[in-house]
Structure 1
Amino acid sequence: MKNLFLSAAIVLGSLSSFASTVPMTNSIIKTISIQDDYTEIKLEEVPAPITEALKKSFPDAVLSKAYKNTKSEYKLDVTVGEKVGSLYANADGTWIKK
């Protein structure tokens, strides 16, 4: 009789482990890149306060391209040595973190 109860408990225990399922979740990650519409401008059109701030903050930087958006914010593509990057500034030469 003990063996009958023991075997029944083992069978029911093993069935419950097969009956339990691990919930599957599909994680979808969406990356949205919000970019202000910058339009390319000539390097001569970059305001003097920005070029002065660039020379002061990054004396070895070479300005390769400049862009402007509708909020009068400027995006500057610069090269320092072998490194290439973008800087953002207001018209008065204040740097913007983006």
Structure 2
Amino acid sequence: MKNLFLSAAIVLGGLTSFASTSPISNTIVKTISVQEEYTEIKLEEVPAAVTDALKKAYPDAVLNKAYKNATSQYKLEVTVGDKVGSLYANADGSWIKK
């Protein structure tokens, strides 16, 4: 009889763990991106200070495209080896982290 009550208690105790519900949390993430307007320019229009800084920092880099915004910041699309990326610089050739 003790075994019957003990086994019934174990079975009921095991079933209660399955019946418990976990709290549901809704996480809403809103991403707001502020994008500066860059307009494409000719490669010849990039200031010499910027191209010199590019040659100094990345001697093997190939400048593919160049963009300029209203505050005279430049976005440079470059290829170094097999990697393609974007670099940002001021008109004086100093790099900007973005």
TM range (shorter): 0.7 to 0.9
- Report the counterpart of residue 37 of structure 1 in structure 2: 37
Unaligned runs of at least 5 residues, structure 1:
1-12
- Report the counterpart of residue 77 of structure 1 in structure 2: 77
The one-letter code sitting in structure 2 at the alignment partner of 1:50 is: V
CA distance in structure 1 between the aligned counterparts of 2:19 and 2:55, rounded to whole angstroms: 69
- 1:58, CA displacement in angstroms? 0.4
- 1:39, CA displacement in angstroms? 0.6
- 1:34, CA displacement in angstroms? 1.9
CA distance in structure 1 between the aligned counterparts of 2:81 and 2:18, rounded to whole angstroms: 62
| CA deviations over 1:31-80 (Å, ceiling 9, x no partner) | 22221110100100000100000011100000000000111100000000
The residue correspondences of 1:79-94 to structure 2 (distance < 5 A) are 79-94=79-94
TM-score w.r.t. length of structure 2? 0.77
| Aligned positions, number | 98
The one-letter code sitting in structure 1 at the alignment partner of 2:96 is: I
Do the aligned partners of residues 60 and 18 (structure 1) sit closer, same or farther apart at CA in structure 2, a change above 3 Å counting?
closer
- 1:20, CA displacement in angstroms? 6.3
TM-score w.r.t. length of structure 1? 0.77
Aligned-residue identity in percent: 75
CA distance in structure 1 between the aligned counterparts of 2:29 and 2:62, rounded to whole angstroms: 37
CA distance in structure 1 between the aligned counterparts of 2:88 and 2:17, rounded to whole angstroms: 58
- Report the counterpart of residue 65 of structure 2 in structure 1: 65
**Root mean square deviation, CA, Å:** 2.6
1:49 aligns with 2:49: yes
Do the aligned partners of residues 58 and 18 (structure 1) sit closer, same or farther apart at CA in structure 2, a change above 3 Å counting?
closer
The one-letter code sitting in structure 2 at the alignment partner of 1:29 is: V
- Report the counterpart of residue 96 of structure 1 in structure 2: 96
